[in-house]
Amino acid sequence: MFHKEGTVSILIGIAVAGILTAIATQISMPNWLSYILIGLGLIFLIIILQFFRNPKRITILDDATIVSPVDGKVVVIEKVQENEYFKGERLMISVFMSPINVHVTRYPIGGQVSYSKYHPGKYLVAWHPKASEENERTTVVVDHKNGQQVMHRQIAGALAKRIVNYAVENESVGQGGESGFIKFGSRVDVYLPVDTPVNVELNQKVKGGVTVLAQF
From first to last of its 216 residues, what are the pLDDT tens digits of the chain?
887 887 888 899 899 999 999 998 888 888 899 899 999 999 989 888 877 888 888 999 999 999 999 999 999 999 999 999 999 999 999 999 887 888 899 999 999 999 999 998 776 666 666 666 767 889 999 999 999 999 999 988 766 557 889 999 999 999 999 999 987 668 899 999 999 999 999 999 999 999 999 999
User: Has residue 45 been placed in a domain?
Assistant: yes
Does residue 15 share a domain with residue 95? no
Rg of the Cα atoms in the chain = 20
How many angstroms separate the CA atoms of 107 and 206, rounded? 14
Does residue 185 share a domain with residue 79? yes
User: Has residue 84 been placed in a domain?
Assistant: yes
Does residue 46 share a domain with residue 71? no
User: What pLDDT sits at residue 14?
Assistant: 93
DSSP secondary structure of 156-190: E-SS---EEE---TT-EE-TT-EEEEESS-EEEEE
How crowded is residue 27: how many other Cβ atoms within 10 Å of its Cβ?
10
CB 143 within 8 A of CB 63: no
CB 10 within 8 A of CB 49: yes
Does residue 139 share a domain with residue 105? yes
Does residue 183 share a domain with residue 87? yes
User: Has residue 58 been placed in a domain?
Assistant: no
User: Has residue 25 been placed in a domain?
Assistant: yes
The CA–CA distances, whole Å, from 138 to 8, 143, 154, 166 equal 23, 17, 5, 10
How many angstroms separate the CA atoms of 35 and 14, rounded? 17
Can you give the pTM of this predicted structure?
Answer: 0.84
User: Has residue 57 been placed in a domain?
Assistant: no
Structural domain that includes position 39: 4-51
Residue type, 156: A
Number of domains in the chain: 2
Does residue 72 share a domain with residue 47? no
User: Has residue 60 been placed in a domain?
Assistant: no
Is 114 marked active-site?
Answer: no
Does residue 112 share a domain with residue 70? yes
The helix (run of H) or strand (run of E) holding residue 31 is helix 31-51
Does residue 9 share a domain with residue 115? no
Sequence-separated (6 or more) residues with CB below 8 Å from residue 23:
37
How many angstroms separate the CA atoms of 3 and 49, rounded? 9
The CA–CA distances, whole Å, from 81 to 8, 112, 125, 190 equal 39, 24, 21, 13
Exactly one of 68, 116, 132, 186 is catalytic; name it.
186
User: What pLDDT sits at residue 126?
Assistant: 60
User: Has residue 14 been placed in a domain?
Assistant: yes
Does residue 69 share a domain with residue 45? no
CATH at 135? 2.70.70
User: Has residue 56 been placed in a domain?
Assistant: no
Does residue 10 share a domain with residue 88? no
Does residue 22 share a domain with residue 110? no
Nearest residue to 74 via CA among 180, 194, 213: 213
Does residue 30 share a domain with residue 84? no
